[in-house]
């Protein structure tokens, strides 16, 4: 391919990114928004969107593919298998929050849509369970809690934290992990008064 094509492609890629980001912005607020609304938010004509993405499904597929890649990177970067459980928990949380804040819609669709993305998420789920088992062995996680319930609570808190947006990802992660492990009741050292 020529040098010209290369230069033009970088322009095209910029347009593609703009569309993907606009789609995330619009669809996270209204999942049934029209292509027209997405195009408007991206600052391009609707036909341009259709030229870049063959169909509506192709667009959301591209979104989930992009988000899934960033998600996988976020998990990997935290090295959840080799770091001490609590550290890993913080790192994974902060990293994933960074992605989820910007790509919440795409990530929510990733499980039920693309089988490729579903695989990544299933893998992440398995790694999460492994991490929780290590945490349990280290005494960070109570032994009598159902690990799958702990994971669901963890996911729910991530979702909630990503929605709230009050504070940077690191602060959100700190509050999240604190809440996950200690809850909102009186901490160790106090006797609960019922």
- The contact set with a second copy (CB under 8 A) reads 31-32, 84, 86, 138-142, 145, 149-150, 152-153, 155-157, 159-160, 164, 175, 179-194
Which of 29, 30, 31, 45 is the binder for DNA (CB under 7 A)?
45
Residues 49-78 that bind DNA (CB under 7 A): 50-52, 54-57
Q: At what angle do helices 115-137 and 85-102 cross, to 10 degrees?
A: 150
30 binds DNA (CB under 7 A): no
Q: How far apart are CA 68 and CA 15, in angstroms?
A: 20
Judged by beta carbon, residue 46 or residue 127, the one nearer DNA is 46
Judged by beta carbon, residue 21 or residue 125, the one nearer DNA is 21
Which of 21, 25, 28, 44 is the binder for DNA (CB under 7 A)?
44
Q: How far apart are CA 128 and CA 106, in angstroms?
A: 20
Contact predicate 101/162, CB 8 Å: yes
Residue 184 interacting entry, from a second copy, DNA, none, C-beta within 5 to 8 Å by type = a second copy
- Give how far the C-alpha of residue 147 lies from the chain's centroid of Cα atoms, to the nearest Å: 21
8 binds DNA (CB under 7 A): yes
| Shortest Cβ 45–DNA spacing (Å) | 4
Judged by beta carbon, residue 99 or residue 141, the one nearer a second copy is 141
3 binds DNA (CB under 7 A): yes
Please tell me the count of residues contacting DNA according to CB under 7 A.
Answer: 26
Judged by beta carbon, residue 44 or residue 72, the one nearer DNA is 44
Contact predicate 113/63, CB 8 Å: no
Q: CA 84, 102, 129: angle at the middle one, nearest 5? A: 30
Residue 115 interacting entry, from a second copy, DNA, none, C-beta within 5 to 8 Å by type = none
End-to-end CA distance of the chain: 73
Q: Which two tokens stand for residue 123?
A: 């893998």
SS3 per residue for 15-61:
HHHHHHHHHHHHHHHCCCCCHHHHHHHHCCCHHHHHHHCCCHHHHHH
Chain positions contacting DNA, by CB under 7 A: 2-5, 7-9, 11-12, 15, 34-36, 43-48, 50-52, 54-57
């Amino acid at each position: 391919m020529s040098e010209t094509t290369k230069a033009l492609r970088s322009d095209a890629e910029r347009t593609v990114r703009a569309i993907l980001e606009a789609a995330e912005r619009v669809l996270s607020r209204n999942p049934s928004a029209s292509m027209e609304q997405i195009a408007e938010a991206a600052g391009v004509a609707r036909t341009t969107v259709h030229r870049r993405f063959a169909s509506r499904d192709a667009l959301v597929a591209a979104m989930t593919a992009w988000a899934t890649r960033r998600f996988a990177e976020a998990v990997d970067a935290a090295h959840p298998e080799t770091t001490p459980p609590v550290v890993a928990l913080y790192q994974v949380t902060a990293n994933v929050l960074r992605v989820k804040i910007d790509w919440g819609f795409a990530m929510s669709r990733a499980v039920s849509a693309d089988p490729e993305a579903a695989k990544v998420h299933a893998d992440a789920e398995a790694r999460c369970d492994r991490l929780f088992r290590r945490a349990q062995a280290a005494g960070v996680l109570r032994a009598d809690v159902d690990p799958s319930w702990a994971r669901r609570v963890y996911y729910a808190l991530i979702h909630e934290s990503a929605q709230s947006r009050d504070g940077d990802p690191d602060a959100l992660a700190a509050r999240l992990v604190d809440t996950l492990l200690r809850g909102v009741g009186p901490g160790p050292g106090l006797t609960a008064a019922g």
